[in-house]
Amino acid sequence: MNMKGVSGIACASIAIGIAAFFWHDVRNEKVPIPPANDAIATTPANKTTEVATSLVTTQTAAKDENLEDIRAQLRAHYGQHLSEPKIQIRLLEEMMRYLSAIDPEHWQENLLALLDLWFPEHGEALKQRLTALLDYKTFMEQERYTLKAMTPEERHAFIWAKRRELFGEDAEVIWQAEIRNYALATSLQQIDAGTGSPLSKVHTYSEVIQQTYEDQADLVLENRRQELTDRFLALPSIQADLQQQPASERYNTLRGIRAELGMNEDALNRWSELDRTRDQRWSKGEQYQAKRETILETYESGPDRDKALNQAAREILGQEMAEIIQAEEEAGYYRYERERVYGQN
């Protein structure tokens, strides 16, 4: 393994369970899941050094001369916080990916030995956490078809019952990000179903964000402002209201929504300009789409139809855009048939 891969092991950050079906981060990196009958290897305390020396050295260390560097990096990255449940899980995930990559047949034994060898002050707690983690992964694998057949509410309750069984009160800490996202998604559904103008709804939404993330709310807004704004704008009730508004009123509404979610004046001005540009593009797109439908009804498939479509695109959209549209349509993509989402496209 080269040093780039080694550095990635110690520095990667894993997002813990923000969706019901997924344990891993957005990169979808997979960790081997032991079969249900594959018991976790256990090692008596007085055998740990012997196992660590013989098994780790011959099976793992021989395949990666940088094992000691990994130990130092992991201790530096996680060592001061290993009493925290979420950090324990992140460490175990890191080590599982690393060890299973270099020695797939013995990664569990190696991991158990290394936990005692590298983190003796937390070894027992980490092994207990590992047992729960592997049991949880096995559960998710075995129940995947059952989970798919459930409603979101049933799935949520079923998974959380298992998490609390395996992790106790620590489950609330380990999956804190998911809890907050679930609460926010539930609030958005309620906001969407409620009455009121888009500006009154976004004010409620802003309050929900503050209540959900508490002292981290400002940081969350700073880092995820566009995502949170898009989630609100995509609500069917918001889009319905924006669609019914005259353009000038819609521009003010969109500006008010973004301002409520903390965008500064420069950003608001840039977005307002983009809203107007998008409206102009869609107006031309609608003209082209109407002309295109007429051409399709008038001409049989062939060179004459293609020529008429290209000419219409050039006249309405301009040469540069016409070339883009032609390439897209040849690939089977028709951009002006997609849904218009005000504030997003």
Q: For the segment 76-99, what is each residue's pLDDT rounded down to a tens digit?
A: 999 889 999 999 999 999 999 999
- Evaluate if residue 129 carries a pLDDT over 70: yes
| Mean of all residue pLDDT scores within the chain | 84
pLDDT value at residue 79 = 87
Cβ of 222: how many Cβ atoms within 10 Å?
Answer: 9
pLDDT value at residue 67 = 81
- Evaluate if residue 42 carries a pLDDT over 70: no
Residue 235's φ and ψ, nearest 5 degrees, are: -60, 135
CA atoms lying within 13 Å on the CB side of residue 142? 11
- Evaluate if residue 318 carries a pLDDT over 80: yes
- How far is residue 161's CA from residue 168's CA, in Å, rounded to a whole number? 10
- Evaluate if residue 231 carries a pLDDT over 90: yes
Higher pLDDT, 308 or 3: 308
pLDDT value at residue 60 = 52
- Evaluate if residue 102 carries a pLDDT over 90: no
CB 83 within 8 A of CB 124: no
H-only helix segments in 143-246:
144-149, 152-167, 170-174, 176-193, 198-213, 217-233, 236-244
- pLDDT average, residue stretch 302-323: 94
- pLDDT average, residue stretch 263-271: 97
**Dihedral sign from CA coordinates of 174, 177, 180, 182:** negative
Residue 131: exposed, middle, or buried by beta-carbon count in 10 A (0-12, 13-18, 19+)? middle
Rg, C-alpha atoms of the chain:
27
- Percent of residues in the chain assigned helix, strand, coil, to nearest 5: 75, 0, 25
- pLDDT average, residue stretch 176-192: 95
- pLDDT average, residue stretch 16-38: 34
What's the pLDDT tens digit per position in 282-291? 999 999 999 9
- Evaluate if residue 220 carries a pLDDT over 60: yes
- Evaluate if residue 41 carries a pLDDT over 90: no
| pLDDT-derived band at 226, boundaries 50, 70, 90 | very high
CB 221 within 8 A of CB 209: yes
- Evaluate if residue 1 carries a pLDDT over 70: no
Q: Which of 247, 277, 242, 245 is nearest to 257 (CA)?
A: 242
The percent of residues above 90 in pLDDT, for the chain, comes to 75
- Evaluate if residue 53 carries a pLDDT over 70: no
Q: Which of 262, 260, 259 is nearest to 272 (CA)?
A: 259
